[in-house]
Amino acid sequence: MKNQYFGDVNDYRKYGLLRLLAGHGEMPIGVCWMLTPNDNRPDGNKTEYLDDERRNKWRKYDQDLYDFLYCKVHSHETELNSRSVTNLTPDYLPSGDFYSAILSDSEQDRKQYFKCMWTQFKASKIDLIFFDPDDGLANNKIARSPLKKGQRNSAKKLFRDEVQDSLRKGFSVIFYQHFDRTNRHELVSSIGVELAGMTSANQSYSFWTPHVVFFLVPHVDHSERIKEAVKRVDTSTWAMPNSCMTSSKNDKRQILVDVHNVNSEAKT
């Protein structure tokens, strides 16, 4: 995650998803931003959904969240740090906690980063950790050679052993995944089934949006509460057809829930 992305349309969907999963605090979520420094790329400019002429179209999905992001994005010229992840507080994510340290490519720094994050979230009694890497999970099929911790751009990735370690420490996990050049159905199904095999719950979930997907891996102790949280997403306004308007070439035009089981394909 970079602060320059804060408040773009993908953030609106992302925070909307997290708010549904959190409910009224039934599922305490710890947000590990995996924050990396801003760059000079135009990423984060997808804020047209906040234009006044589009307000009626977009605000209905989460009115409080929309108004909050509208205020922050349109205040970027007058308010210091208005486009910063530190603006998201428990006021907008009930029972939430946030880990906002900068993550570098250093392997040793990364080890300490995760150790401090887990300690903080244990102390604040978090059940579900949301990881927000720039790109998503490292070393999927598209990779020509395995990326290792400590290598250049490794801070942009979440590694599989970090998901497994989080589960072993008693957390459920949800993370951001950017689509790559792999067929999207194959990517989601492959990762979803792999993640289901990491947990004694033997199940994982994915949440499609037009440009990114989120994967949720439940710790077995949270299975029933996770199912209820997923139902909140699946019955929300975000799950309505065409709630995530985008190119007509993309058939996933809402937050669409898929369920993945060990040794099975995704159920759409």
User: How confident is the model over 91-117, as a mean pLDDT?
Assistant: 96
- pLDDT category at 248 given cuts 50, 70, 90 is very low
State the pLDDT at residue 250: 44
CA distance 99 to 101: 6
CA distance 176 to 167: 17
State the pLDDT at residue 249: 45
pLDDT digits (tens, 9 = 90+) for 70-101: 998 887 656 667 778 888 889 999 999 999 99
Instruction: Compute CA distances 32 → 67, 115, 138, whole Å.
Output: 24, 12, 17
Quick one: what percent of the chain has pLDDT higher than 90? 60
State the pLDDT at residue 95: 94
State the pLDDT at residue 37: 82
The whole-model pTM stands at 0.90
CA distance 214 to 2: 17
CA distance 265 to 194: 11
Residue 244 has pLDDT above 90, yes or no: no
User: How confident is the model over 149-170, as a mean pLDDT?
Assistant: 96
Residue 268 has pLDDT above 50, yes or no: no
Strand pairing of 157-158 and 203-208? unpaired
Residue 126 has pLDDT above 90, yes or no: yes
Residue 107 has pLDDT above 50, yes or no: yes
pLDDT digits (tens, 9 = 90+) for 175-232: 999 887 778 889 999 999 999 999 999 999 999 987 889 999 999 999 999 999 999 9
Residue 251 has pLDDT above 50, yes or no: no
Of the ranges 42-51, 92-101, 107-116, 183-192, which one carries the lowest mean pLDDT score?
42-51
pLDDT digits (tens, 9 = 90+) for 127-153: 999 999 999 999 887 556 889 999 999
State the pLDDT at residue 245: 53
